[in-house]
Amino acid sequence: MCVFGHLVPWLLVGENWRARNLQVFSSSLEKRLKSDRRKKWDKKQEAALEAAHRALNAFDDANADPGSSPELRTQRQNLVDAVDTLKALQGSYDDPGPL
């Protein structure tokens, strides 16, 4: 069997060899990477949530009575659903770490 790696282009091992769970990154590095990725996620999520809020506020400002027509009600409900979904996604972030 031939195993390809990053540092060694290839390595021949016996057929009875089993891959063990090797920790490539130290725990402090893994925590830092997760923290950095979380910060990037938070920035993007906040920007998307802010844009959704702006769109909802602009819609409400442009339409004094959105309940007057079914199309306006549907459009407003879609905007409200987008805001709610983005809020729910903010709390559901999960980083499995390096795979």
Domain definitions of the chain by residue range: 45-92
Question: CA dihedral defined by 25, 26, 27, 30, rounded to 10 degrees?
Answer: -40
pLDDT of residue 16: 63
Task: Taking residues 42-68, report their average pLDDT.
Answer: 91
Two tokens, residue 35: 């923290």
Residue 13 identity (one-letter amino acid): V
**Does the pLDDT value for residue 2 go beyond 80?**
no
Task: Taking residues 13-25, report their average pLDDT.
Answer: 62
Straight-line distance from the first to the last Cα atom of the chain, in angstroms, rounded to the nearest whole number: 22
d(CA 57, CA 80): 10
Which is nearest to 95 in space by CA: 50, 30, 45? 30
Percent of the chain residues past pLDDT 90, beyond the cut = 39
The answer to whether the beta carbons of residues 98 and 92 sit under 8 Å apart is no
pLDDT of residue 1: 47
